Amino acid sequence: MLTHSFCPGVTRGLANLVFATSMMVTGLSSLPAMAAETLLTVVSGDGTETAFTRDRLESLPQHAFRTETQWTWEEKEFSGPLLTDVLAEVGISDGTVELVADDGYQVQLNIEDSADYLTKDYPIIATRTDGQPFAVDEMGPLWVIFPYDGHPELEAKPVYDISIWQLVKIVDK
């Protein structure tokens, strides 16, 4: 079961536009996150927060694939650890987690109900696109992504809902 919420009265697209505009004005949008900077915080069921830097995420087993997305309109290589490996790193293997984007977009993911979409090959939390870290204005620095090409079963609303870019937090519910 997947549920999602938006900022009240504001669509995700509008929120992204406002955020991207503010980042361009400040000049921060084109800078990839530094290796020692916390990119992702995972909050366990007991409230323990675990920080993941780029280095920590990239120390996990890496997976890569090339795919086109409905958001990039061209084939790119995405690489990073499996979402399930990141969850396992903090002891989360079942139940519901909430994925939270930098712009406030949230989606709840029931791990058991979504087993068809959480495989040994995907989704990954992409830390790189075409071999390079990517910035906020490129939907980074983290993006939950699937190999859509060649997998028609992934062209489904539940998959698109959890294809969250600018991922900053995962909360064990």
Give the confidence band of 11 by pLDDT, cuts at 50, 70, 90: very low
Q: Please count the CA atoms within 13 angstroms of the CA of 168 that sit on its side-chain side.
A: 13
What is the CA angle 135-150-170, rounded to 5?
40
Model confidence at 31: pLDDT above 80 = no
Model confidence at 2: pLDDT above 80 = no
Query: Model's pTM, two decimal places?
Result: 0.80
Q: Could you give the CA distance from residue 168 to residue 42 in angstroms, rounded to a whole number?
A: 9
- Residues 34 and 54: beta-carbon distance below 8 Å: yes
Give the confidence band of 20 by pLDDT, cuts at 50, 70, 90: very low
Across the range 64-72, mean pLDDT stands at 92
What local confidence, expressed as pLDDT, does residue 36 receive? 72
Burial of 126 (0-12, 13-18, 19+ CB in 10 A): buried
What local confidence, expressed as pLDDT, does residue 21 receive? 43
